[in-house]
Structure formats: C-alpha cells, structure tokens
Amino acid sequence: MALQDSSAPQSPLLHLLVHEIDYGTPRSKAEQTVTLTVDGQPVTVPEGTSIMRAAMETGIEIPKLCATDMLEAFGSCRLCLVEIEGRAGTPASCTTPVAEGMVVRTKSERLDRLRQGVMELYVSDHPVDSLDPAKHPDVDLLETAEEVGLKEVRYGFDAARHRNPGIDDSNPYFSFDPAKCIVCSRCVRACEEVQGTFALTVSGRGFDSIIAAGMDEKFIESECVSCGACVQACPTGSLLEKAVIEKGKPEWSAITTCAYCGVGCAFKAEMRGEEVVRMVPYKDGKANRGHSCVKGRFAWGYANHRERILKPMLREKITEPWREVSWQEAIDRVASEFKRIQAKYGGGSIGGITSSRCTDEETFLVQKLVRAAFGNNNVDTCARVCHSPTGYGLKTTFGTSAGTQDFDSVEAMDVGIIIGANPTDAHPVFASRLKKRLRAGAKLIVIDPRRIDLVRMPHVEAAYHLPILPGTNVAILTALAHVIVTEGLVDEKFVRERCDWDAFQDWAAFVAHESNSPDAVGKICGVPAETIRAAARLYATGGNGAIYYGLGITEHSQGSTAVMALANLAMATGNIGRPGVGVNPLRGQNNVQGSCDMGSFPHELSGYRHIADDATRAMFEALWHKPIDSEPGLRIPNMLDASVEGSFKGIYIQGEDILQSDPDTHHVAAGLAAMECVVVQDLFLNETANYAHVFLPGSTFLEKDGTFINAERRIQLVRKVMAPKNGYEDWEITCLISEAMGYPMHYNHPSEIMDEIAQLTPTFAGVSFQRIEELGSIQWPCNEKAPEGTPVMHINGFVRGKGKFVVTEYIPTDEKTGPRFPLLLTTGRILSQYNVGAQTRRTANVIWHHEDRLEIHPHDAEQRGIGDGDWVKLASRAGETTLRALITERVAPGVVYTTFHYPDTQANVVTTEYSDWATNCPEYKVTAVQVSPSNGPTEWQEEYHELARKSRRIASTVEAAE
C-alpha cells in the first residue's frame, strides 16, 4: 500500500437524496387479505389496512398532512378525503379501513375542491407571502398546496390568527417556530407513540391551540429527551433541525449505521457536498424502524471538533512534547520499535487491542496483524470489560456466544425481565420499542439496585421491581429458579425434548435446595420473599417471557455464572426458540458483538473457534501463509500485569481508552508507563494517549466503509460519506503497520476483508457487502442453511445440540462492605453521554450532563453531612476521587452510583482488581466505598491532570501552529 501524506479529499461521492415512501399509516399485520379497487385498479392488502395505504401500495398518492406511516392514523387535517361507491360523504382515507369489494375514487372535482378549501385555510394561517414553494424552500406545506392544485388564498397570508409565543430555540439541535405550526399533532403523537416520552401536548383551543412542551415550558426545560421524533414527524418545518436552517437543505444522502450503542440504528446521512447536514433515522432500518436517540440523531459534531488530531505524532518519552511527523515516519517508528522490542524481550512482548468502536473489517485486521505479523495471540478487545461473560455463558448453555432474538421480537413479548440494564439511558431506541409493547399490555419485571426509569414512568409501570443489593444477581436468579422448580412451573416437555435431561435434573435438585428459596435469598438480596415468588410466577406463566440484560449482569465476579443463570431460567420455562422470548444481551458499544465475532479474544479465532483447534488454525494458516501459535495469548489485564513485571513492552491500541474505561486506573497507568512503545490510534488525544509514544490519528464512521454488528447479530453497512480527514481509514493504517513489520496485507476495499472473513468463518459464509446491500442487513449465522440470516436462534434445537443447564452456586464477591468502606458503589451511563465521553463530551450534549455526579440516598447523605451538589470524596481500597453529590431516592440506602463519562472524575480509580472468574471481566458493579465531604479534587487527580494538561497543552500548541 502506498503511503500518502495529505488528507486530500477523494472525488465526491454522488448519491441521490434517499427518498423513503410514506405510506400514510402503519402496515397491518393481519394475515387475512381483502381486495378492493382504487381508481379502477384492483389491490389486495391485509385486513385493517387504511384506504390511504392501499392506494399508496398501487402507487396512488393521496394528499395528506396529519398522517404518516410511523404513527397510527389520527384523521385531523381532512386533506385525504376520498369517495367510496355506495357510501355517503367523503371519508378520510387515513382512518377508513379497506373492505372486500370496496370501490374507491381518490380524484374528482369535488375532492379537489374540498382539499383546496382545507389547504387554503391552512396556508392562510401560515407565515408566507406567496404560494411559490421555491420562495419558501423550508415550508413543505406549500408543496402539498401545489399538489392539491391550490392557486390562490382568499384570506390573506398574515398568519395572525393563532397563538404565537415566538420561536423556541432552547434545544441545542432543533427549534420550534409556532408560526409555521398547523397543530396537526404529528409531533405530539410521535413523542407518545414512537418515543414514549409524552413531553408534548396541544394546549388551548381553536385559534389558541398550540403545541406545548412539558407544562408550557421551553423544550430544554421539559421532559423532552431530544430524540428528534417530533422533528422528523413535523410536515411544516415548524420543528426543524438548526443545522438545516444554518446549512440549507441536504443535496444527497447515504444509508449508514450509528456509531454509538449496540442498538445499531440505521440513518440517512444527509449531506451538502462533504458536509453532514443531518442524520435522519431510516425507516427500513430493521433495528430502529425509523427511530433514534439524541446521540445518533444529533451528536455527530465531534467528527469536526477542533481537538481532533489529524496528523501522526511521536515523542521519545511520555513527558516530552508531541512532535508532528509524516505518516511514513510514524509507521516506520511503530515497526522499528516493535521489532526492536521483540528482538530484545521475545516475540510475546508486544500485543494489540481491537476496538468495539471500529468496523468488523478493522477489528479483523488488528487481530490478523497480531497473530500473523507479531506472531503471537496477545490480542484482546474492550469486550473484555463488558460482555465477555455473555460470550462464555451463552456458549456454554446454548452453544452460541450471542443473543437469541431480533428487536422485532419484543413485539411478541408478554412478560419481560430487565436485569442489570437501564435501556432508557443506554439503549434508548430499544427502550422505546419496549415501552410501546408495555403500553399495549405486556408486563415487566425490573431487577436492579436502582429505581431505573422503567420502574415507573408515564404510561409504563413495572409489575415488580426487585431492588437487589449489588453483587447478588446469581442469588436472586437462582431463587427465581427455585420457585419455578418447586412450584411445578417447569416446561417439562420443552426441557425433555430440547435440553440435556441429566444436567437439568442436577440443576433442578440444586435450585430446589432450601438455601436457594426466596426466604433464604431474600435476606441476602434485600428483596421480600413474596416479591421474588410473584416475579418468578409471572415470568413462568405469563406467556412469552423475554430476558434483556446489560452490564449489571456481566461486570461482576460471577458475571458468567449470572449469564448462565438467565439461560437456565429461559430453558426451564421453554422461553427460547421463537419470537417474543429468549435471552438478549443489550450490547453497549456499536460493534461489541462484531469485535468478539471477529476473533479479538486471545484464545479464539473468528466465529469463536478455539485457537488450539488444529483444523481451524490450519484454515487460517493456509490463507495467511503464516503459522499461528496454538497457545492463547494475554488478556488485557495480563498484558498490564506482564508490563509491570517487565516482560511485556509494546502495545498497539486501536480506538480504545483503556486508562479511562478499564478498572483500577492506577494499575492501568503503571502498566502503560512501564512499556517502551505505546501506540494509540484514535480521534482525540484520549487519556491513554497520555502514556503513548506514537499517536496515529483515526477516522470517524463517516469517513470509512465497513460493517458493524449490533446486539441482534445484525450486520449492517457503514458507508463513507466523506474522505478521511486524517488521510486514511483505520483499516488502512493497520495494513501500513503490518507491511512495515514485514507482513504485507493486500486489500483494495473493506469488502475484500469481509470476503476473507466469510471464507474463514462458517457463521459468516454467506455474508458479503453485496449481499448486505441486497438484504439491507443480515443477522448471522448466514450460510447455506440460512442464506438470508437468522433472526431468531435455536428454533428447532440448540446450536450445541441439547441445551445445557449449569448449576449456579452463589459465591459472594470478596469485595465486602465494612466499617472503613460501608457503602456499595455501582456504575452506569446516562442518556446524553456515551461511555468515556470522548465523542459526546465534544458535542452540545454536554448541556444535559457536564459532569459525573455521585447519586446517594438522602439517609446516607444526611448521616455524612452531605448536601445536594456538595463536593464529596469517594474512596475505596483501590483509590479515591472527588465529585459532586446528587441526593436521590433512585438509589437505596447503602448504595451509591455514578457515571464514568468524564476524565476529571476517573470513577475507575476506585474500582478494584476483582473480576469474573471465567473471563476476567472486571467487577465494576460492586465496589465497597466510603463517601465523605470534600473540598475538591484529590492529590492524585491534581497530579494526573498535570500530566494530561501537558499532553493537551502540546496538542494545542500543534493546533495553534496549524
């Protein structure tokens, strides 16, 4: 591959603006069909379809304002009138369902006249001075006026009749101009039906009616969560993205995938030239079905942030200034340093970390670099610190290291268990789909130490909340199993047919033991025995039971055990292998599933095949022309330990900030500081880069082609909409390093890397970029047996053959409270920020969350003399930090909680070295701490910030020189 030293833009990509058909009303799911005639054309549609939708399906568009296929029909604008033979009047086509033999006319002089009359009234109440859409390009209403043939407005254009309190531009991303509003209620309904927040209402009557946020407040002061659903629904431009107002209407667009969480929302990146104007959720996106959250929809501005590093940089020592260098010099330095280290300390003295933020193709190449060019298996991924127990637990019980369902499955769910997850903050689009199902009558059991939003929020109330003490997941899950087994609620037919019966019997005998009864366990978990019994009965007998879980399950010393306990529950109740059921990990990062699938773990090649398997290794060796070590390499914590001990000296870290995201920050810092060559590839000088010798600038998801895999195993395309500002896509940088190390890799495009993945990985055998283009997305396994992928797994049998019950003995964590550290700390995320905040902190999202706070119960705060907003010291046996207190009853007495989005706080300074017994996933969710009043930052924070300040000061000097 030829090195280039400039980020010269490639020729602009030319696409048309993707136009999605709006069918006016949602698709009916009825199986029965009816046939009718629309304007002389016969059409057959499912029962319950609206006339408007039936017409659209034959290509006949009926004018509409209040209808959209994202929302149930409302029938308020009266623009979509039609004539039906044998019926009097002109019914609204959006609210009138089709009937067998119906004969519909959508065009007639009478209908034209009526529609023009309605439209004339709307336009007269609109702030325009003519009917020419070209003069008012942001007023979609005029396009509809043109469509219905409106030629004049007899009542003038003064728009003075309705209430207009003025533009509300309090939200950083969109504004609301009441003057343009026709009170069609699409926004109100979008907020209710799609997002489920109920932030908007129509306030007042007649000409006084106005859309109001909250209690007639500014948007920013209301409960609005800035998902953008109302903006998308608005047909008049009254609610509009500020970027569209500033930059103008988009000219072209491409479908791509959100780079934040594991929901994997599909978006249209709408562009002017090479500039993003807006990201609009894509209706055909099978994960999000046209919805989004504030992060994917609006928080993409970090791609252009002034702190982004675009040139490679070097320094001899971490205390020295950074020096900008050419790509050639930087790559040569990486290769020469890694070779020198290997010559001096041995082949196993270097390694790499892949990123769950990067594409599958990039991740695959990093592990290939380590195995083929470095010649060892010292590769790991950030999934180590989040979902590695999911991989272990689900593979052991079901045979596949992944969730069992697609997100559509939630629509068939009758009872949901949410455990150790907070979807409204961390997986918001899934949360909206879940809330919709709950509003339709499904029941919910929340098992979480905190009173998360889903416990009670507008129109949603969990049937049971089990507020367990952090660290007692396995105990409570086994107690649920105890009730199911001892009360005869096991689906014996399913278990006998589908599972290993001997293993089931061992397990059933174990869970039935009195020590696992709700009475015994309730005392350990802090949950009344009756609540445990009631929740178990509901899950086992309430119809389709689905389990959704997050890092509150995995990030424990018994993380893998808890995952297996969930799998046991699903098997015992027969809740596996069909829509509406299953065990579903809510993946944190956009591509955490993919980074695991791609062979990022030191003991596994792609598709979760063990490195010791001779046949698998032989396949890779034949294609890569390199021997592969049969011994597993070092995990991240082992690399850091080995570094402190002196045997591990160099690391290539692509797109990860282990200093901020990994536990026991002091130990991570010591490990990094002891290495001789730390290479960080990222968008910004992250916290890990404070310990780096080489910094390689990375590219954003907007600047590269590739694929991400979401929590549903769904492989989706990421499409390049602009040239990489740093000159290279991340996969190209890995290729450059590999070539310089003496192992050239030859790819012209990421699609060729996917072809190699498909060739080497049986579960991906049918996957290619072309196939993904054709199908929109593919859920693996995709191969000869499943050429279009696999939405729901284990339908006719488990991947491992018989489902395996595993005895899940509760072993309390060694991390115990005591007189010095009497409180339990648990951690999590907030909606507006993402993980270590590297991206979201560089967007206007900081308006909602500009610092990490420590949630503490009023009782614990009072005992310590702590007031709301006071600085407090948070100390554990690992370290201490300071942050400000937030007094709330969301946490129970004895439990405190914080987020870890800000490096100023470094919450992981206090987390300990304890980890999951099977996978080393850190025990983030349980740390014994003490909280006390403080005057401000600790000495450690001051020292650390001095180092970070030096690093950043040098970076800003570089910036200033540019």
Torsional sign, CA 536, 538, 543, 549: negative
DSSP percent split of the chain into helix, strand, coil, nearest 5 = 35, 20, 45
CB-side exposure of 125: number of CA atoms within 13 Å?
21
Q: By C-beta, is 264 or 655 nearer to ligand SF4?
A: 264
Tokens of 826: 């648990």
With binding defined as CB under 6 A, does residue 287 bind ligand FES? Answer: no
Partner that binds at residue 367, options ligand FES, ligand SF4, none, CB closer than 5 to 8 Å by kind: none
Q: What is the β-pairing status of strands 456-457 and 460-461?
A: antiparallel
771-800 footprint of ligand SF4 as x/- string (CB under 6 A): ------------------------------
* Residue closest to ligand SF4 when measured from CB atoms: 296
By the 8 A CB rule, do 928 and 818 touch?
A: yes
Please select the residue that binds ligand FES; options are 51, 54, 55, 79, rule is CB under 6 A. 79
Distances (CA, A) of 382 to 355, 655, 859: 6, 10, 37
* H runs (alpha helix) in 105-148: 109-124, 140-147
From 70-78, 434-442, 778-786, 805-813, span contacting ligand FES (CB under 6 A): 70-78
Binding mask 174-213 for ligand SF4 (x = CB under 6 A): ----------------xx---x-x-xx------------x
The one of ligand FES, ligand SF4, none whose footprint includes residue 65, by CB under 5 to 8 A per kind, is ligand FES
Q: Which of ligand SF4, ligand FES, none interacts with 264 (beta carbon under 5 to 8 A by kind)? A: ligand SF4
CB 637 within 8 A of CB 602: no
**Of ligand SF4, ligand FES, none, which one does residue 823 interact with (CB within 5 to 8 Å by kind)?**
none
With CB under 5 to 8 Å by kind, the binding choice for 510 among ligand SF4, ligand FES, none is: none
3-state DSSP assignment of residue 45: strand
Angle at 215 between CA 209 and CA 217, to 5 degrees: 90
Q: Which of residues 656-715 bind ligand SF4 (CB under 6 A)?
A: none
Sequence letter at residue 878: A
Pick 64 or 556: Cβ nearer ligand FES: 64
Q: Quick one: which of 267, 197, 202, 272 has its CA closest to 232?
A: 267
* 706-709 β-sheet, strand order: 706-709, 714-718, 778-779
Decide whether 91 or 632 has the Cβ nearer to ligand FES.
Answer: 91
Binding-site string for ligand SF4 from residue 242 to residue 271, where x marks contact by CB under 6 A and - marks none = ----------------x-xx-xxx------
CB 796 within 8 A of CB 497: no
Q: Which is nearer to ligand SF4, 840 or 941 (CB)?
A: 840
| 558 versus 832: smaller Cβ distance to ligand SF4 | 832
Q: For residue 927, report the phi and psi dihedrals to the nearest 5 degrees.
A: -140, 130
> Closer CB to ligand FES, residue 235 or residue 650?
235
- State yes or no: residue 429 binds ligand FES (CB under 6 A): no
Q: How far is the CB of 160 from ligand FES (least distance, A)?
A: 24
In the complex, the smallest distance separating the C-beta of residue 94 from ligand FES, rounded to whole angstroms, is 3
Residue with tokens 């190699």: 756
Pick the binder of ligand SF4 from 53, 162, 283, 295 (CB under 6 A).
Answer: 295
Shorter beta-carbon distance to ligand FES: residue 182 or 385: 182
Contacts of 30 (CB under 8 A, 6+ apart): 46, 47, 48
Nearest residue to 706 (alpha-carbon basis) of 574, 589, 590: 590
**Contact call for residue 576 and ligand SF4 (CB under 6 A):** no
Establish if 92 lies at the interface with ligand FES (CB under 6 A). yes
Site string for ligand SF4, 455-494 (x = CB under 6 A): ----------------------------------------
CB of 429 to ligand SF4, least distance (A): 4
- Choose the binding region for ligand FES from 59-67, 206-214, 443-451, 898-906 (rule: CB under 6 A): 59-67
Strand partners, 680: 653, 695
Whole-angstrom Cα distance, residue 208 to residue 202? 10
894 binds ligand FES (CB under 6 A): no
Closest approach, Cβ 204 to ligand SF4, in A, equals 18
Number of H helices and E strands in the chain, helices first, is 29, 36
Supply 34's token pair: 């009816």
Q: Any contact of residue 229 with ligand SF4 (CB under 6 A)?
A: yes
Least distance to ligand FES from the beta carbon of 22, Å?
11
Residues 93-112 that bind ligand FES (CB under 6 A): 94
E strands, 366-466, are 379-381, 415-419, 443-447, 456-457, 460-461, 464-466
Shortest distance in whole angstroms from residue 63 CB to ligand FES: 8
**Could you write out the DSSP letters of every residue in 698-718?**
---GGG--EEEE-TT-EEEEE
CB of 758 to ligand SF4, least distance (A): 25
Q: What is the dihedral of CA 250, 253, 256, 258, to 10 degrees?
A: 0
* 3-state SS string for 140-175: HHHHHHHHCCCCCCCCCCCCCCCCCCCCECCCCCEE
Please identify which residue in 51, 65, 181, 535 interacts with ligand FES, judged by CB under 6 A.
65
Residues 503 and 457: beta-carbon distance below 8 Å: no
| Chain center to CA of 552 | 16
Query: Does residue 64 bind ligand FES (CB under 6 A)?
Result: yes
Considering the complex, state which of residue 288 and residue 573 has its C-beta at the smaller distance from ligand SF4.
288
Select from 50, 90, 226, 356 the one that contacts ligand SF4 (CB under 6 A). 226
- With CA atoms as reference, report the closest residue to 910 among 832, 840, 848, 824: 824
Q: At what angle do helices 327-345 and 730-740 cross, to 10 degrees?
A: 50
Binding residue for ligand FES, selected from 78, 87, 578, 603, defined by CB under 6 A = 78
Q: Which is nearer to ligand FES, 192 or 380 (CB)?
A: 192
Q: What residues from 424 to 443 belong to the interface with ligand SF4 (CB under 6 A)?
A: 427-429
Q: Choose the contact partner of 403 out of ligand FES, ligand SF4, none; CB within 5 to 8 A by kind.
A: none
Residues in contact with ligand SF4 by the rule CB under 6 A = 190-191, 195, 197, 199-200, 213, 224-230, 258, 260-261, 263-265, 288, 292-293, 295-296, 427-429
Residues that bind ligand FES (CB under 6 A): 64-67, 75-80, 92, 94
